[in-house]
Amino acid sequence: MSVKYDFSGSRVLVTGGAGALGQSTVLKFLESGATVVVLDKDTTNIHELLQQYPTCLETITVDLTNWEETAKAISQTLPIHHLVNNAGIPGPALPFLQIRPEDVDKVLDINFKAMINVSQAVAAGMIEGNFGGTIVNISSVVIFSIVSSYIF
């Protein structure tokens, strides 16, 4: 069973939109009539989608760990009616006792802090524009699994 939604007239921001899951999300919104803004560190992977949807697909290439740059880029693409925080990276594939603070910082910067920064920027635009919207945060089930290298 396929459920259809109409997002005509809506602008949707998808972080990590150039990755596999992100591209699938972007495509579904495009097929539902939305204008989609892909925010990713490298948007070259969506070249084919850009050719198919030249008038309703925009890209922003930005490093999500740079709060100021990210917030500025988002402010220049408002209004955003719907946000999908999809960007994320896996944790280090290292034995538990070899994980360094900078490894943890990188994961937190992208998977958690960037989600807060992007959500704040989009929510501020929703409030300023006096319209409702949605924010969806996607996470991985990996956080619920035991990684063998962490067992000692």
pLDDT in tens, 96-134: 899 999 999 999 999 999 999 999 999 999 999 999 899
Q: Which tops the pLDDT comparison, 143 or 15? A: 15
Give residue for tokens 């989600």: 115
| Amino acid 140: pLDDT | 74
For residue 5, which amino acid is it?
Y
Long-range contacts of 128-134 (CB under 8 A, 24+ apart): 128/78, 129/78, 129/79, 131/79, 131/81, 133/80, 133/81, 133/82, 133/83, 134/81, 134/82, 134/83
With bands split at pLDDT 50, 70 and 90, how would you rate the model's confidence at 139? Answer: confident
Which structural domains are found in the chain, ordered by start? Answer: 11-150 (3.40.50.720)
Give residue for tokens 């994320």: 88
Length of the chain counted residue by residue:
152
CA distance 124 to 119: 8
pTM over cut 0.85: yes
pLDDT in tens, 10-63: 999 999 999 999 999 999 999 999 999 999 999 999 999 999 999 999 999 999
DSSP state of 150: G
